[in-house]
Amino acid sequence: MSSYLVKRIFTMIITILGVSVLVFMIIHLIPGNPINHILGDFATEESIRELEIRLGLDRSIPVQYFSYMLNAIQGDLGISYITGYTVVEEILNRIPITAQLAFFSMIFGSITGIVIGVIAAVKKNTIYDQLAMLLALVGISAPGFWIALFLILLFSYQLSIFPISGYNGLYSLVLPSITLGLGTAGSIARMTRSSMLDVIKQDYIRTAKAKGAGVYRLIFRHSLQNALIPVVTLIGMQFGYLMAGAVVTETVFALPGLGSLIVSAISTRDIPTVQGLLLFMAAMIIIVNFVVDLLYTKLDPRIQYE
Amino acid sequence: MLKSIEKNNNLLFVDPDPLDIKLSKNSFLNNFLNKIMKNKGAIIGSVILLFFIITSALAPIIAPYPVNEMNFDDSLQGPSLEHWLGTDEFGRDIWTRMLYGGRVSLLMGLFAVTISGTIGVTLGVIAGYYRKLDIYIMQFIDILMTFPSLLMAIAIVAVLGVGLTNAMIAVAISAVPSFVRVVRGSVLSIRETEYVEAARALGVKNWRIIGKHILPNVISPIIILATLEFGGSILSAAALSFLGLGAQPPNPEWGALVYVGKSFLSQAWWMTLFPGLAIMLVVLGFNLLGDGLRDALDPKSN
Amino acid sequence: MKRRSFVFFTMLLILALVLSGCNWWGKSDSNSKEGSNREVVVGLVSEPDSVDIHRTSSTGEANTPLYDTLLKLDNDGNIIPNLITDYEVVGDGKEVIFNLKKDAVFHSGKPLNAEAVKLSFERLVASSPFSTNAGEIESIEVLSEYSFKIKWINQFAPFFINATTPFLAPLDVSVLNDKGDGFEKNPSGSGPLKLIEINRGDSIVYEPYKDFDWKGQEPGFDSVKFRFIPDEETRILEFKKGNVDVLLNVPYQYIEDLEKDSEVTIKRVPGDVLSYLGWNNKLPIFQDVNVRQAIALAIDRDSIIDNTLNGEAQAVFGPLPKAAFGYSEKIEKMATNKYTRDTDAAKKLLSEAGWNETNKDGVVVKDGKEFSVDLWVDDDPANQRAAQVIQSQLMEIGIKITISVKEAATIIEQTPNGAHEMLLWSFGWPDADVLNFLLFGKDKSKRLHYENEKIYSILEKGAIEMDQEARLKLYEKAQEMLVEESPFVPLYVKENITAIRNFESFEIHPIEGSIEWTSVKVKE
C-alpha cells in the first residue's frame, strides 16, 4: 500500500509538471504580443522595452518557465496583465462559486442518477427501464447551454422562482447546478444500472435471496452499496467534466466563477490569468482523481494495490 | 464476436482458404445484423441519424428558401405554414437554415472523428505494440487527459484563433486521448494472444502483424468509440460556437444558430429551440447507435 | 462499509464547505431595497479591467465616475471650467499656466492641489497607455498651492479638449504602494462616486462622495451598484424583472418592447462613436480609388440602421461624427451627395478598375481572380448583424465578403500589423486629432494603413495649431481629401439608449453620453 502510494504520488507530480510544460507551451503559442494589447495603440518603442523587462518577457522561454514554476510552488502565479490583481487573488475570489456549483451539481447528478439507475436495474427490461435509460441518454446528449436558456426563460422569467443571473447566495445556484448536473446524472444512472445488474448476478446476492431476504432489503443492503463503488470512481472522473461544463454554465448564468474568468481572460489575452487558471484547474483535477483513487481502495476491501 | 474474428484470423494465418474466410465473415455479419436489429435503441438511433443525414444531403433540393437571402419584411415570424419553424432576425427561414446547418454540424463531427481517430489509432497501436514507447506516449496522453475535452478545445482555440476550421481542429485534438486509450488497451490484449506470439516467433514483420492481425481485431472498439465521439464532437463544436469561438454567423451551424437565437430568446424562442433540439437528437442518435453497436460487438454482452 | 461511506461523504461535505467559505445564504447587501437604502442598480455589458484610469483599457460608466475631470463640456459641447478654473497660454503656445479650483479634496481626504495634479500627470506619462493624450510634456512646474505650468516639447492643441476626458483626470497618487500599484484596492479620485467594494466578475459598488459638488442639493441616492451581465438576453430579462434600474446599451431589438411598459423611460443620446467599414489600404486590391469609391457607393446605411439597429442611429457620410471638434456641415453634405447608394455607379467604377467579368456565383473577376475579402467584426451581436447586411449589400455589386468574428482584443492587437483585409470597427474621440493619432497619421494609421503624404502634413499642422479657426480650416481640407480618396466608409453613429425605471430625475450628458450623477434622484 505505502509503496503504491509513493508511486502514485510520484506519477502525480510528473503529470502536474508535464501539464505545466504543456500549458506553458500552449500559452506561448498564442499569437499576438501581450505587450501590444496592454499598451494598446499608443505604444512607443521605449514603453514596449520597459514593459518587456517589467514582465520578464525579455528572457528566454526556458528561463521564463523555471522562474514561473519556482514562483508557482511558492504560491505566486503572477499578476494579471490587465487588472493588476495577482492571479492567486483572482482565483481565490472566484473559487467559492465554482466549488459550490461543482458540489451541488454533483449532489444533484448523483442523487438523480442513482435513483434513475436503481429504478432501471430493479425493473430491468421493462418499459420503465427503457424510459429511464432513454432519459439518462437525453441528459448526456442535450447541450447544457441550450437547456440553461430554457430553464432561465421558464423558471426565472416566467415563473420568477429563481434569480436570472449573477450570484446572490445559494439560491442563484439551483438552475446552474441542474444544468451542469444533467450530464453527470445521465452517466451515473447508466453506471448505477449496469453495476447493480453485475452485483445482483453475483453469488452472495443469490445466497441472500435463497436465505429469504426481502427484495428491497436486498437491493439496498447488498447490491446498492456494492454497486456504488464504481459510481464513486465515476464521480471522481466527472470532476473534470464539471470544470469544463462550468465554463459554459457560468457564462450563461453570469456567475463570477473560474469558468467565466477563463473565457474573459482568453478574450482579453490576459496571459498570466489564463496560464494560472489552466494550471490550477488541471492540478485540481489531478488531485481529485488521486483522492478518489485512494478512497476507492478504502471503500472496497477487495481491492488491494501492491 | 471477438472470438469469431480471432478464429477468422487464425484461419487466415494457418490456412488461408478464401472460401472459409468468406463463410465466417458472412456468419459474423449475420450475427451482427441479427443483434443490431433486435436492439431497439440502435434502430431508433439509426432512424434519427438517417433522417438528419438525408435531409442535410438533400438540403439544396428540399430547402424551401434560399439559405442566406434576407427578407426584412418577414423577420422574426413564428412557426407557420409558410415558415414551418419560423424565421430569424433577417427573415430567413429557420428550417432552411437548419437543413444547411446540419451539413456543417455533421461534417464537422465527421472530420473531427476522422482526424482524432487516425491520430489516436496510430498512437494507440504504437503504444500498445511497441512496449518501449508505451510509457512515454501514455504519460503524454495522461497529461492531455487531465484537461477535460471542452476546456482543452477552448485553450486550443485561444491559440489558433476563432473560427469553424480551428474549432474543428480543437475538437479533433481534444478527442485523441480517448482513442489512444481504447486502442492501446485492445492492442495490449491481442498482442499477448498465441497467434500473434506465433507470428512473431515465425519472424513475420511487425507492420504485417499490425496490419493483418492487430488492426482487424481492434476495429470494433474503434467503431464503437468513433460513433460515440461523433456525437460528442458535434456537441463540443456546438458549445464552442455558442461561446462565440466556433462557426461564425451567417454560417448556419447549429451551435451558431443557438448563439444567434439567444439574443432573441424571449421574443423568438423558435430561433433557439429548434437548432438546440436538432443537436440533442443527433447526439442522442449517435449515443443510441453507439450503445447498440457495443451490445452487438462486445463479447461480454453475450 | 457503512462507516466507510459515511466517512467518505463527510469528507466530501467538509471539503466543499471549506472551499465554499461561509457565504451560504447570500450577502447582506443583497438586492433588497427596503428602508432608506436608495440603491441604484446599473446593468452593463462588461466589467472594466481596472478602475485605475492610468491602467484600464476600458473606460465606461463603471469606472469613470471615480474621477472628476480638469475641464468639462457643457451641453452644447463648449469647453467650460471644472477642476481647472482658468488657464493662460504663454509664450509661443508651448507653455500653459493652469489655476485649480480651491479646496477640492480627493476621496482619501487628501487635498487636490497643484502638487497632487503634478504627481498624477507624472504617473500618467510614466505608465499609462494613453499618455499621448497629454501630449509630449517636457516639464510640469508647481507655481503655488493651486497653480501649475505645463511645458510641452511642441504646441499641443488637443490638450484642452482631452482634459475634458477622464484620461487626464487627477488621480490620488498618495494611495499607491511603493511600486506605484495597488490603486484597485484603495482607489481615490475626486469624482461623484466613491468606491465601496469591487466584487470581481460580478459588480462594483459605490456611494455618493459627500464632498463632491452636488450643486447645492443632497445626493438623490444612497449607493450605486454596477452589475456586469455580458449576455444580452440575461441583461434584458433582469431589467424587465426589476432587478436592474438602469439598463445601459439597451439591445436594439428590445427597445420597442420596453417602450410599451409605462414605468420604463427610454433615454436617447446621440453617441460620439462613429462606426465605419474599413480595410487595409496597403493591400493591392484596395489601391485603386475606383474600387474604394465603389464600395462606398454600394453601402445603404439606412437599410443597416433600420434592420439591425432598429432605426436608432444617425447615418454619417463624412469622416467625423457630429460630436467631434472639426466636424463640418459642408463636408457631410458633400460626402452625402457623393456616396448615397448607387449600385449602378458602383458597378461602373468596379469595371473601370478592371473588375469587369462576373463568374457563376455573381462575383466580379479580374485576371482570373475573384473579388473576395475577409471582413473582421467583433463579437457584439448588433455589429455581427450589421456585418451580414453589409455582406449582402456588397454582394449586389459582385464583391464577396466572408465574415470572421474576432474578439475585440484580437482586432486591436492584430490590425496594427495589417493582418486584416476589411473590418467593421468604430472610433469615438471628441477632437479631430483622432484623424491623426489613430486613423490616418504618418505611421499611426493603426487600422487603415493609409499612406498619403499630403494628408499627413495637414493633420500634423492641425495638432499644433493653437488658433481654433485656423485649426477648423485645416481639418476641413483634410476631410475633403478623405472624402474623395475614400480610404474607409463612415457608416453611422449609434444612439446611446438607456432604459430607466423609478427615477424622479435622471439625466445623461448630451455630448459626453455619461450619466450625470448630480441629477440622479430615486423615486421614494
- b/e per residue A68-82 (b: at least 16 CB within 10 A): beeebeeeebbbbbb
> Which amino acid, residue C145?
E
Q: Which of C25, C184, C409 sits opposite A169 (nearest CB)?
A: C25
Hey, is the C-beta of C408 within 8 angstroms of any chain A C-beta?
A: yes
**CB-based contact B263 C307, cutoff 8 Å:** no
Residue C299 region by backbone torsions, left for phi larger than 0, else alpha for psi between -120 and 50, else beta: beta
Condensed to tens digits (0 to 9), the pLDDT of residues C172-226 reads: 999 988 777 778 888 999 999 999 998 888 899 999 999 999 988 999 999 999 9
Starting at the earlier edge strand, list the strands of the sheet with C137-144: C84-90, C95-100, C147-152, C137-144
Asked if C19 lies within 8 A of A32 by C-beta distance, the reply is: no
Q: Which residue of C has its CA nearest to A302?
A: C1
Instruction: Answer yes or no: is pLDDT of B302 > 60.
Output: no
The alpha-carbon gap from A198 to the nearest alpha carbon of chain C, in Å, equals 19
Q: Which residues sit opposite C204 in a β-bridge?
A: C198, C226
Q: Contact at 8 Å (CB) between B126 and B133?
A: yes
Where is average pLDDT lowest: A232-246, B219-233, C102-116, C211-225? A232-246
Stretch (H or E) spanning C276: strand C264-279
Residues A142-167, mean pLDDT to the nearest whole number: 89
Question: Is C375:C403 a contact under the CB 8 Å cutoff?
Answer: yes
Confidence of residue A175 (pLDDT cuts 50, 70, 90): very high
Report the residue of A38, A42, A146 to disrupt the C interface, i.e. the one with the largest count of C CBs within 10 Å. A42
Grid cell digits, residue A45: 518603442
DSSP string, C428-478: E-SBTTHIIIIIISTTT-TTT----HHHHHHHHHHHH---HHHHHHHHHHH
Interface with A, mutate which of B146, B169, B233, B258 (most A CBs under 10 A): B146
Burial class of residue A40, CB neighbours in 10 A (0-12, 13-18, 19+): middle
Q: Which residues of C touch A33 (CB under 8 A)?
A: 413
- Per-residue pLDDT band for C407 (boundaries 50, 70, 90) equals confident
C-alpha cell at B206: 511487425
The torsion angles phi and psi of B104, rounded to 5 degrees, stand at -65, -50
Q: Which helix (H) or strand (E) holds C366?
A: strand C364-366
Phi, psi of C437 (to 5 degrees): -80, -10
Whole-angstrom distance, CA of residue C171 vs CA of residue C52 = 8
Grid coordinates belonging to A209: 435471496
Alpha-carbon span A99 to A176, nearest angstrom: 12
Find out whether A144 and A249 touch, Cβ atoms under 8 Å. Answer: yes
Specify the DSSP element, H or E, that contains C147: strand C147-152
- Of the candidates B163, B250, B263, the beta carbon closest to that of C233 is on B263
- C139 confidence band (pLDDT: 50, 70, 90): very high
Q: Do B158 and A274 touch (CB under 8 A)?
A: yes
Omega before C111 within 30 of 0, i.e. cis: no
Nearest neighbour of C201 by CB, restricted to A38, A41, A94: A94
The count of CB pairs under 8 A between chains B and C is: 59
Provide the 10 A C-beta neighbour count for residue B19: 7
* Average pLDDT, integer, range C156-175: 93
Do the Cβ atoms of A43 and C129 come within 8 Å?
Answer: yes
Cα gap A97→A100, rounded to integer Å: 5
Q: How far apart are CA B104 and CA B123, in angstroms?
A: 28
For B8-32, how does the pLDDT look when each residue is reduced to its tens digit (9 = 90+)?
Answer: 333 333 333 334 444 456 677 787 7
Residues of C in contact with B244 (CB under 8 A): 379, 405
- List the domains of chain B with CATH numbers: 109-252+285-297 (1.10.3720.10)
**Nearest-Cα residue of chain C relative to residue B251:** C403
The cell numbers describing C443, all together, are: 505611421
Nearest CA in chain A to C445: A41
Alpha-carbon gap: A218 to the closest alpha carbon of chain C (Å): 15
Across the A/B interface, how many CB contacts are shorter than 8 Å?
117
Task: Give the confidence band of C456 by pLDDT, cuts at 50, 70, 90.
Answer: very high
Residues 254-273 of C with CB under 8 A from B: 254, 257
Mutation target vs A (from B154, B264, B281; most A CBs, 10 A cutoff): B154
- For residue C293, is pLDDT > 50? yes
Supply the pLDDT for residue B78.
Answer: 92
B144, B155, B238: residue with CB nearest A143: B238
- Among C319, C326, C328, C318, smallest CA distance to C471 is for C326
Query: A129-138, A225-234, C186-195, C269-278 — which is least confidently predicted?
Result: A225-234
Mean pLDDT of chain C: 89
Chain A hits for C379, CB-CB cut-off 8 Å, are: 267
Terminal Cα-to-Cα distance of chain C (whole angstroms): 62
- Give the pLDDT confidence of A27-42 residue by residue, as tens digits: 877 665 666 666 666 6
- For residue B190, the model assigns a pLDDT of 86
Cell 489516436: give the residue: B120
Residue C488, beta-bridge partner list: C278
Neighbours of A263 (CB within 10 A): 20
Query: How is residue C166 annotated by DSSP?
Result: G
Give the single-character DSSP code of C29.
T
For residue C77, the model assigns a pLDDT of: 85
The Cβ of residue A172 has, within 10 Å, a number of other Cβ atoms equal to: 23
Instruction: For residue A287, give the H/E element and its range.
Output: helix A271-299
The reply to whether residue A149 touches residue B291, judged by beta carbons under 8 angstroms, is no
pLDDT recorded at residue A120: 92
pLDDT tens column, B39-70 = 888 999 999 999 999 999 999 999 999 988 88
Note the pLDDT of residue A40.
61
Mutation to test the A interface, candidates B147, B260, B294, most A Cβ within 10 Å: B147
Residue A51 forms contact with C (CB below 8 Å): no
Please give the average per-residue pLDDT across C398-418, as a whole number. Answer: 85
Q: Does the pLDDT value for residue C4 go beyond 50?
A: yes
Q: Is the pLDDT of residue A44 over 60?
A: yes
ipTM value greater than 0.95: no
Residue numbers in B near A160 (CB within 8 A): none
Smallest CA–CA distance, residue C23 to chain A, in Å, is: 7
pTM beyond 0.80, yes or no? yes
Q: DSSP code of A157?
A: I
Probe site for chain B from A17, A98, A141 (most B CB atoms < 10 A): A141
pLDDT greater than 50 at residue C24: no
Of B146, B255, B284, the CB nearest to A285: B146
Which of A51-65, B124-138, C114-128 shows the lowest per-residue confidence on average (mean pLDDT)? A51-65
- Give the pLDDT of residue C173: 92
C-alpha cell at B196: 500473434
The predicted structure's pLDDT at residue C12? 60
- Using pLDDT thresholds of 50, 70 and 90, give the confidence band for residue B179: very high
- Across A60-64, B77-81, B160-164, C227-231, which has the greatest mean pLDDT? B77-81
Positive or negative torsion for Cα C217, C221, C227, C232: negative
In B86-145, the residues whose Cβ lies within 8 Å of chain C are 89-90
Higher pLDDT, C29 or C443: C443
**Minimum distance, in Å, between the CA of residue A299 and any CA atom of chain C:** 6
Gap between the terminal Cα atoms of chain A: 6
Alpha-carbon torsion B32, B37, B42, B48, what sign?
Answer: positive
Q: Do B284 and A138 touch (CB under 8 A)?
A: yes
Cell of C270: 446621440
Q: What is the pLDDT of residue A36?
A: 65
Hey, which of A64-68, C444-448, C483-487 has the most confident mean pLDDT? Answer: C483-487
Report the residue of chain A nearest B42, measured CA to CA: A134
Q: How many residues does chain A have?
A: 306
Q: What is the mean pLDDT of residues C396-410?
A: 87
C55 touching chain A per CB within 8 A: yes
Backbone angles phi, psi at B70, to 5 degrees: -90, 145
Separation of alpha carbons C477 and C227, rounded Å: 45
Contact B255/B237 with Cβ under 8 angstroms? Answer: yes
Query: CA-based Rg of chain B, rounded to a whole angstrom?
Result: 23
Report pLDDT for B62. 94
Comparison of pLDDT for C50 and C294, the residue scoring more: C294
Q: Which of C304, C379, C394 to mutate to test the interface with B (most CBs of B within 10 A)?
A: C379
Banded pLDDT at A204 (limits 50, 70, 90): low
State mean pLDDT over A125-148.
Answer: 93
Q: How far is CA A278 from CA A23, A96, B153, C464, in A?
A: 7, 17, 12, 49
Range picked from A56-70, A124-138, C171-185 for highest mean pLDDT: A124-138
Burial environment of residue A225 by CB neighbours within 10 A (0 to 12, 13 to 18, 19 or more): middle
Q: Can you give the pLDDT at residue C26? A: 42
Q: pLDDT-based confidence at C410, cuts 50/70/90? A: confident
Q: What is the mean pLDDT of residues B119-139?
A: 91
* Alpha-carbon dihedral sign for residues C79, C83, C88, C94: negative
CB atoms within 10 A of CB A109: 28
Percent of chain C residues past pLDDT 90, beyond the cut: 65
Find the closest chain B residue to C250 by CA distance: B263
| Res B155 pLDDT > 90 | no
User: Cβ contacts (< 8 Å) between A243 and chain B: which residues?
Assistant: 148, 151
Contacts of C303 in chain B (CB under 8 A): 72
| Mean pLDDT score of chain B | 85
- Could you tell me which of C346, C91, C230 has the C-alpha nearest to residue B262? C230
Q: Pinpoint the alpha helices (H) of C137-196.
A: 159-162
Residue type, C33: K
For chain B, positions 18-47, list CB contacts with chain C under 8 A: none
Residue B228 CB partners (closer than 8 Å, separation 6+): B286, B287, B290
